[in-house]
Amino acid sequence: MILNVNVGLLGHVDSGKTSLCKALSTVASTAAFDKNPQSQKRGITLDLGFSSFTVKTNIPPQLSSPESPVDALQITLVDCPGHASLIRTIICGSHIIDMMLLVVDVNKGFQTQTAECLIIGELTCEVLLVVLNKVDLLEPSTREEKIAKMKSRIIKTLAKTRFSGAPIVAVSAIATQQAADGPHSTDMANLIQLLLASIPNPRAKREQQLALPFLFAVDHCFVKTGQGTVLTGTVLRGSVHVGETVEIPQHKLQKKVKSIQMFRNPVEVIGPGDRAGICIAQLDAGVMERGFVVQPGSLLPCSACLLSGVTKIGYFKSTVRSKGKFHVSVGQDTVLARITCLLACTPTSTDSEPREFQYLDMLPDVIQDASIGGPNNTFMLLQFDTPVVVPVGELAIGSRLDADPLAPSCRLAFHGKVVNIFPTADLVSSLPVYRLKSRAGEVERLADSRSCIVRDLFKRETNFDIFQGLKVHVRSTTTDAGDAPIEALDIPGVIEGSFGLSGKCRVRLSEDLPDSLVQKFGSKGSKKVGSAASSTDPRTLSVVLEFKKHVFDPKRRFVQ
């Protein structure tokens, strides 16, 4: 069998990613090596480029076994843009890779987009290999010394990330191309050797994904005269055979698969991890540039979605506040979304949806439970400006792409995993999100030992009908305890209704108040709280009303 592994090349603009792809590759595919005329004109990569090379000998032992031997290893290189304005495309490319090559200009070291690519890599893959490129531009007399210094700096940077101890190799992609037609130089041989040793085994994960409905991430679309429209992309889940019907959920179109090719070789079936082109007859190529092709009925556009395990990215300096708008990259799209930060009211795993959420004003900088190995109970609701196709289980990354791309600051704000989608906006009202509310008043006087008149809990214009029957707590506070300790009180009560027209209410207690307080606040005493001379009890009585307000309920109902 031939095993395909997708390797992403990420890094700052002009670090030599495309040159490295040229030096490594033997087969060019979709948009490889900046074939786009605009890319050639501007001298930078503007879109995802795909190329590959094949290894038929010395297959890494972690990838092959006697029970399931691998005859050849195909390395698909995903050349991602490096310009700050194209971070949407970078994130899109990162979703389909198995491991990452972080390309660094040895003369400049880590730059702003290098750091952003490192963060994206931490979120999307488990294995990183750092490539120090352009070593040919260093003076031969000081080359080894400068390479060693740069490696030392990068090792310190990576020590703070999940890629601590990642291998680092120094190369010159341009010199390799000029010296020979193909990857035959010593530094390229070392790079390939390190790459093969670092590749994670994707087979177990892909076997699980194979049982899921077909999901194909499309990155390019073009017309092939006389045959049809070709959609090129990567299989994320499931499989498809020639002749089967697939759906483009963005447009609710169903079409039959006419033929399939993998790097110009016709095949009958493709599965998870495969890079392929699917030919479909009678499809307008202008229908889609990027998107998904899926098993019919398995995926719908949605107006909102729920994320679990939401974490703020530590390098993002601003706050992530509810009701704010962020650019959210999820699936194949980057769209504006209004966010609502939530906290699961009961401990839960990140893969399940709890029964109830508490509204948060902002996303915590540090998730306490997660920092000590517990579950991350922070969730987030995304309400999109325009409907998008979002597969459940996909990673979502929130960012501030309207910030200055040249500023030395991180634009990536948060990330989480999609656990639920809402096809229409009105379905969000079914999400049990509550905001904790509290009001405080004080006892003005007592009608008897179990009935009190409360002031300052409501305003004159308050509609008492929605508060009638809610529970309150009557608590004592001591203004001057003196030498003798005074017992603190906390007595439950219920709001019976309004009293007069000034916003006062009547509360019925569940048990009798002490005689000293009845004497102090009795109706025959002074109506000024704490001014009665007939009692020496130093306590005053406050009334606290606590309730939960349903955030998305159109009727704004209260719950206790």
Instruction: Indicate which CATH number applies to the domain containing 395.
Output: 2.40.30.10
CA atoms of 12 and 339, how far apart (whole Å): 29
pLDDT at 525: 46
pLDDT at 182: 44
Same-domain status, 48 and 175: yes
Last residue of a domain, one of 242, 275, 294: 294
Domain contains 281: yes
**Domain total of the chain:** 4
Domain contains 206: no
Last residue of a domain, one of 294, 320, 339: 294
Same-domain status, 330 and 405: yes
Domain contains 378: yes
The whole-model pTM stands at: 0.83
Same-domain status, 439 and 547: yes
Quote the domain boundaries for residue 527: 434-559
pLDDT at 93: 82
Averages of pLDDT over runs of 10 residues in the chain (560 residues) are 92 92 86 53 65 89 82 92 77 90 96 92 95 94 96 96 95 75 67 93 92 95 92 96 96 95 92 95 86 95 96 94 96 94 74 78 76 70 96 95 82 95 93 92 93 94 89 83 69 94 94 89 56 65 93 82
Last residue of a domain, one of 294, 311, 327: 294
Same-domain status, 197 and 75: yes
**How far is residue 152 CA from its own chain's centroid?**
31
pLDDT at 91: 86
Residues 224-230: contacts with CB under 8 Å, at least 24 apart: 224/279, 227/258, 227/259, 227/279, 227/281, 228/258, 228/279, 228/280, 228/281, 228/282, 228/283, 229/279, 229/280, 229/281, 229/283, 229/284, 229/285, 230/277, 230/278, 230/279, 230/280
**Residue labelled with tokens 């790097």:** 263
CA atoms of 302 and 190, how far apart (whole Å): 47
Same-domain status, 275 and 387: no
Same-domain status, 49 and 172: yes
Which distant-in-sequence residues (6+ apart) come within 8 Å of 200 by Cβ? 62, 98, 99, 126, 127
**Residue labelled with tokens 């999100």:** 433
